[in-house]
């Protein structure tokens, strides 16, 4: 069985959201008016375990999936993410494991993610203008923190780094 999309193309890519939490409050995704300090994110017990995610990924790969992209929220907020990456890269037939991130935590985690087997990252960067970037993320995070994350990702060998 080879699943296809509406245009009859084979489904080769799978996006897995590993958390609904994010350290930004971007106006287009998690506006503070909705996702304020009182917002109830999913309790940890309601998230899929890494073993459940790996089991699902193995099934998807057996049906033709070749690439898995880890997303969120902000996937790097998920505790022990390198453990999941190690489980995923061990799946026979899976060719690529990557992640989409806002980049802020890459300065801390890039090397560990690469060592676990993450191939590359895509970083969401809404503007190089610091004032615009701060307004977009509504978390008082400057563009310089993301640029440092991009450099850390490159230095760790997570590449090509996409923006």
Q: What is the CATH number of the domain that holds 128?
A: 3.20.20.70
pLDDT of residue 155: 98
Higher pLDDT: 106 or 33? It is 106
Separation between Cα atoms, residue 149 and residue 106, nearest integer Å: 5
36 pLDDT higher than 80: no
- Residue 123 falls within a domain, yes or no? yes
Total tally of structural domains belonging to the chain:
1
- Residue 6 falls within a domain, yes or no? no
- Residue 86 falls within a domain, yes or no? yes
For 62-85, the pLDDT digits (tens) are 999 999 999 999 999 999 999 999
pLDDT of residue 127: 96
- Residue 75 falls within a domain, yes or no? yes
- Residue 48 falls within a domain, yes or no? yes
Dihedral angle computed from the Cα positions of residues 79, 110, 124 and 58, in that order, rounded to the nearest 10 degrees: -60
Q: Which residues, 6+ apart, have CB-to-CB distance to 84 below 8 Å?
A: 18, 50, 53, 54, 70, 78
Q: Supply the pTM of this predicted model.
A: 0.92
pLDDT of residue 91: 99
Higher pLDDT: 157 or 25? It is 157
- Residue 3 falls within a domain, yes or no? no
- Residue 162 falls within a domain, yes or no? no
Mean confidence (pLDDT) of the chain: 94
Average pLDDT over residues 136-144: 94
Other CB atoms within 10 A of residue 134 CB: 15
């Amino acid at each position: 069985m080879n699943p296809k999309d509406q245009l009859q193309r084979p489904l080769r890519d799978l996006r897995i959201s590993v958390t609904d939490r994010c350290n930004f409050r971007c106006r287009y995704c998690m506006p503070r008016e909705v996702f304020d300090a009182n917002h109830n994110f999913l309790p940890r017990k309601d998230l899929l375990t890494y073993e459940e995610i790996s089991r699902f990924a193995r099934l998807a790969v057996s049906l033709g999936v070749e690439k898995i992209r880890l997303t969120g929220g902000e996937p790097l907020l998920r505790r022990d993410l390198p453990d999941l990456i190690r489980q995923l890269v061990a799946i026979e037939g899976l060719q690529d494991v990557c992640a989409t991130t806002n980049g802020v935590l890459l300065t801390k985690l890039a090397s560990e993610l690469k060592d676990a087997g993450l191939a590359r990252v895509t970083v969401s960067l809404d503007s190089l203008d610091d004032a615009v970037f701060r307004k977009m993320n509504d978390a008082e995070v400057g563009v310089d923190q993301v640029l440092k994350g991009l450099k850390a990702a490159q230095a760790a060998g997570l590449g090509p780094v996409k923006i």
